[in-house]
Structure 1
Amino acid sequence: MSTEIVLSSGQRMPLIGMGTACKPIPPNLTSTLVHAIELGYRHIDIAPTYNTEEFVCHAIAQVETRKSQPHFSEGEDILSFDMRGTWEAMEESIGGSNFSIKKLSQHLTYVTIPPTMNQVYILSDNRFMLEAFIKSVS
């Protein structure tokens, strides 16, 4: 089984990432992240609402990552912003984070390059309809 995927831009992205959303933030979060990076994690999920960016930065600073560059997933913020302009500026290797079929459909009306991936939680209620939709537009 492959441990990474090649995006349409040619960049490689790990298939499994480490999430950093936790409430309350554990006192050992930085050391946990250091250990994860040392074990080979190169995909770290961050978002402004997690309030964990500082811990992630400290962990990365403590670990030498010559093997490959870390890949960060940052979720959509709850603040209003120009999503279309942002998307067009980054679309070569951009993907979604828990985007619904509705949100993906809206983006597909104006993007010139389809999203390279849609990061979703793996839960017992697997999103079969979402997976089928993504495959149909890829």
Structure 2
Amino acid sequence: MKPLNNGCFVDAGANFEVWTFFVARVGYEDYAFEPSPRPYRFLTENALPNVHVFNVALGDVEGEAELKLHERSEYDSLIYENVGFSGKTVKVKVRTLDSFKLESIGLIKIDTEGFELPVLLGARETIFKMEAAHCSRGP
């Protein structure tokens, strides 16, 4: 993989993703958004110099939300109590992707456990600045 335009990579729902680290190694300036505490800590402890990690959820409005924690953090969700839901929640900040005013986006990856549409709605301006997108479907 080579950078599409030497732009940045946006990873919405970064989790413990290999995407973040793989794409950073090939030259992207990487913006990783992860509201869940454990993956966020992992990302910040292992980030390369060109990886910027934000402990926020992306959505269509600015504010706060309750993140439902799962036994396995890759299933933490703002809207679903997935099988294995631990019964615990944590309050997280929510921002729109547009509020970050990112320029020259080569690729955006969205994997937000059913919250993909609000992420896209909060990225209306940003969408016109990107070359490619990958969206995982929620549960």
Same fold (TM over 0.5): no
Structure (1 or 2) with the greater helix fraction: 1
Scaled by the length of structure 2, what TM-score is found?
0.36
Between the two structures, name the one with larger relative contact order (CA 8 Å, sep ≥ 6).
Answer: 2
Larger Rg: 1
Scaled by the length of structure 1, what TM-score is found?
0.36
